[in-house]
């Protein structure tokens, strides 16, 4: 189900940015876009930059004021890259996203983004409950409009519980028996090439190898590849005349 979150762009000047914002929104399952006094919209560049998110542009509403854009909303957040009057509450984008998602469960919530060159005015911020700051290089804080929307939309997506789901695979993890056979085989090859533990106790090397291979979580195919490599090394040495001790 689509979240009850509205993205509001105030006086966007570049139609390409509007299209890129639509694309960013669709990437992160946001659908409600409102434009306040856009300089050029609709526009072919906006459609081109949307790259398949045309439905977001088609549903986008154009209004004459921030008040119209926020009609019916409860919680309102606004983005800023500048220091503002200290009476404004300022939140990190990740913390703000969690609050927005929580508030959107009971009433529509909105996120305001300002014009590319000037950002939001103090008048635009009158309805905002919190200002969002996106951490960035202090020497260059200005973000492209579409980039700023993408970052906020991503945090909103994560705050709604999205997680990376590993791709399914038909190959099971190697069993403990598979791994034991690999370690025995590896120890044989290490002995043949005289690759020994040079520490005083002489017992740490294989233990460390076991640990890092266990962390790798090898599947059965990967164990077979490694054992095939070890066998190829042994065969090559035998064709070359046996071990160093035999030469």
Supply the pLDDT for residue 204: 83
CATH number attached to the domain at 176-239:
1.10.8.590
Supply the pLDDT for residue 247: 39
Supply the pLDDT for residue 246: 46
Sheet holding 90-92, edge to edge: 61-63, 32-36, 5-10, 109-113, 76-79, 130-133, 90-92
Contact indicator for 156, 100 with CB cutoff of 8 Å: yes
Supply the pLDDT for residue 12: 97
Does residue 201 carry a pLDDT above 90?
no
Does residue 243 carry a pLDDT above 60?
no
Does residue 85 carry a pLDDT above 80?
no
CATH number attached to the domain at 5-159:
3.40.1280.10
- Tell me the pLDDT tens digit for each residue of 150-199: 999 999 999 999 877 777 778 899 999 999 999 999 999 999 998 988 77
Supply the pLDDT for residue 3: 84
Q: Where in the chain is the domain with CATH 1.10.8.590?
A: 176-239
- Tell me the pLDDT tens digit for each residue of 100-158: 999 999 999 999 999 988 889 989 999 999 999 888 888 887 889 999 999 999 999 99
Q: How confident is the model at residue 242 (pLDDT cuts 50, 70, 90)?
A: low
Give the separation between CA 159 and CA 163, rounded to whole angstroms. Answer: 10
Q: How confident is the model at residue 200 (pLDDT cuts 50, 70, 90)?
A: low
Q: How confident is the model at residue 2 (pLDDT cuts 50, 70, 90)?
A: low
- Tell me the pLDDT tens digit for each residue of 23-56: 999 999 999 999 999 999 999 999 999 999 999 9
Does residue 224 carry a pLDDT above 70?
yes
Does residue 88 carry a pLDDT above 80?
yes
Q: How many CB atoms lie within 10 A of CB 205?
A: 16
Supply the pLDDT for residue 192: 92
Q: Where in the chain is the domain with CATH 3.40.1280.10?
A: 5-159
The structure's pTM equals 0.74
């Amino acid at each position: 189900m689509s979240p009850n979150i509205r993205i509001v762009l105030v006086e966007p000047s570049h139609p390409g940015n509007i299209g890129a914002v639509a694309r960013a929104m669709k990437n992160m399952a946001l659908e409600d876009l409102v434009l306040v006094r856009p300089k050029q919209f609709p526009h072919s560049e906006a459609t081109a930059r949307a790259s398949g998110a045309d439905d977001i542009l088609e549903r986008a509403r154009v209004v004459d004021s921030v008040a119209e854009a926020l009609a019916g909303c409860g919680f309102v957040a606004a983005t800023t890259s500048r220091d503002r009057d200290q009476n404004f509450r300022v939140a990190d984008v990740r913390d703000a996203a969690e609050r927005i998602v929580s508030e959107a469960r009971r009433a529509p919530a909105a996120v305001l983004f300002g014009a590319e060159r000037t950002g939001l005015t103090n008048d635009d911020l009158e309805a905002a409950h919190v200002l969002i700051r996106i951490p960035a290089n202090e020497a260059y804080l200005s973000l492209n409009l579409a980039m700023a929307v993408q970052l906020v939309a991503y945090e909103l997506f994560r705050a709604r519980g999205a997680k990376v789901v590993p791709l399914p695979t038909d190959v099971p993890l190697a069993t403990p028996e598979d791994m034991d056979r690999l370690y025995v085989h590896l120890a044989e090859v290490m002995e043949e090439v005289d690759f020994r533990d040079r520490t005083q106790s002489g017992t740490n090397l294989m233990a460390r190898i076991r640990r890092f291979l266990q962390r790798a979580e090898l599947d059965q195919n990967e164990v077979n590849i490694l054992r095939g490599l070890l066998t190829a090394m042994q065969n090559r040495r035998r064709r070359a005349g046996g071990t160093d001790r035999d030469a």
